[in-house]
């Protein structure tokens, strides 16, 4: 039987605690750069279990904050945070969300960019790749309406929270299959709960609907060397001007959106590059046929060169 792993700052030299906790947080969560506004000794602990790309964790601690590192290269993930005690502030998109005791927050790793856990708190966390989460939950995480109550009397959300508490309680007694089934049951219950309680959104305008459809089309055709505003417009039988108008309120253009999504995929592949994979291979695979241009826009986006991302990954792999 697989049992949960534990980590604690207890017993570590005071000078090493902050770096050790920063490393553990990035390992189990997302790539956070942590800050510690207080000077006194810092304590933290985590109990966790991993099953392939599912991570279930129980965190205790406080007196720190985090900012997500740009260009971490990780796949998009959906997180569930169940706060048991204390308070923390999460920065999700352009909003600051306060999460109090007996509240649950659903978040998306591509939108979450910071948090503050200044006071001691106790939370349960579940993290899973976006593609494995029910679509309703993934959409709710992107919308980021804020924390929901899971206190007694909250109906299905309270039941979902009880399921997550039970999963955490039974981590040492569940086999891999049992943990996978329990996690899926939790997500199904939470998906239903949030669907029933979500405020009815107004119907999207034709322009908003076109924007959503165009973005999905772009994601599905990023490896098409002919992907451009004209090809996207043709796919939906609209004019290029109409497509540009749909993107007009986003602060981006069709071409810039395509480039940004391609650069994100390139970063992920370069961060995992092994064997004989080269920067040129990755760039050409995702529609960049001018290497000087690719290197320039990649560094503008991530602050590092494509080759340095590959070199860093191979140094880490060699050290392991």
CATH of the domain at 118: 2.60.120.10
193 lies in the same domain as 72 = yes
Q: Where is the domain boundary, 152, 171, 197?
A: 197
The 10 Å CB-count burial string (b at 16+, else e) for 218-235 is beeebeeeebebebbbee
243 lies in the same domain as 131 = no
Record the tokens describing residue 31, joined without a space: 């790539």
Nearest alpha carbon to residue 25 among 52, 48, 51: 48
223 lies in the same domain as 189 = no
242 lies in the same domain as 262 = yes
Record the tokens describing residue 98, joined without a space: 């306060």
Contact indicator for 61, 121 with CB cutoff of 8 Å: yes
Structural domain boundaries enclosing 304: 206-319
29 lies in the same domain as 169 = yes
Contact indicator for 282, 269 with CB cutoff of 8 Å: yes
Apex 84 CA angle, 80 and 89, nearest 5: 65
Q: Where is the domain boundary, 197, 230, 250?
A: 197
177 lies in the same domain as 221 = no
Region of residue 73 (phi > 0: left; psi between -120 and 50: alpha; otherwise: beta): left
235 lies in the same domain as 144 = no
178 lies in the same domain as 239 = no
64 lies in the same domain as 128 = yes
158 lies in the same domain as 87 = yes
131 lies in the same domain as 218 = no
| 119 vs 88: CA distance, rounded Å | 7
| 193 vs 160: CA distance, rounded Å | 8
At 223, which CATH number?
1.10.10.60
Its pTM stands at: 0.63
Residue with tokens 């923390």: 88
Q: Where is the domain boundary, 197, 216, 251?
A: 197
Per-residue pLDDT of the chain (320 residues; tens, 9 = 90+): 578 999 998 888 878 888 898 889 888 888 888 888 766 667 899 999 998 889 999 999 888 888 887 555 567 889 999 999 999 899 887 788 899 999 999 998 888 888 888 788 899 999 988 878 887 888 888 777 789 999 999 999 999 999 999 999 999 999 888 898 999 899 999 988 887 765 544 556 788 888 888 988 998 899 898 999 999 999 999 999 999 988 887 777 899 989 988 998 898 888 888 778 899 999 999 999 899 999 999 888 877 889 988 887 777 666 65
15 lies in the same domain as 153 = yes
What is the total count of domains within the chain?
A: 2
């Amino acid at each position: 039987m697989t049992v949960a792993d534990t980590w604690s700052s207890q017993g570590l030299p005071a000078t090493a605690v902050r770096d050790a906790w920063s490393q553990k947080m990035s390992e189990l969560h997302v790539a956070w750069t942590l800050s510690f506004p207080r000077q006194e000794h810092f304590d933290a602990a985590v109990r966790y279990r991993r099953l392939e790309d599912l991570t279930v964790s129980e965190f205790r601690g406080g007196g720190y904050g985090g900012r997500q590192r740009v260009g971490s290269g990780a796949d998009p993930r959906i997180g569930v945070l169940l706060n048991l005690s204390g308070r923390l502030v999460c920065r999700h998109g352009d909003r600051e969300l306060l999460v109090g005791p007996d509240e649950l927050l659903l978040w998306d790793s591509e939108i979450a960019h910071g948090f503050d856990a200044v006071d001691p708190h106790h939370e349960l966390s579940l993290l899973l790749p976006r593609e494995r989460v029910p679509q309703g939950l993934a959409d709710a995480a992107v919308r980021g309406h804020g924390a929901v109550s899971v206190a007694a009397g909250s109906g299905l959300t309270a039941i979902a929270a009880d399921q997550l508490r039970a999963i955490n309680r039974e981590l040492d007694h569940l086999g891999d299959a049992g943990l996978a089934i329990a996690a899926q049951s939790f997500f199904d219950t939470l998906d239903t709960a949030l669907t029933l309680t979500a405020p009815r959104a107004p119907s999207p305008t034709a322009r908003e609907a076109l924007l959503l459809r165009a973005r999905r089309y772009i994601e599905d055709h990023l490896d098409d060397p002919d992907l451009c505003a004209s090809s996207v417009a043709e796919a939906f039988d609209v004019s290029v001007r109409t497509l540009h108008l749909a993107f007009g309120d986003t602060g981006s253009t069709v071409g810039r959106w395509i480039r940004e999504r391609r650069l994100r995929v390139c970063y992920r592949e370069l961060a995992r590059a092994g064997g004989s994979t080269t920067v040129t291979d990755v760039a050409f695979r995702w529609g960049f046929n001018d290497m000087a241009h690719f290197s320039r826009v990649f560094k503008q986006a991530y602050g590092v060169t494509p080759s340095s991302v590959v070199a860093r990954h191979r140094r880490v792999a060699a050290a392991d």
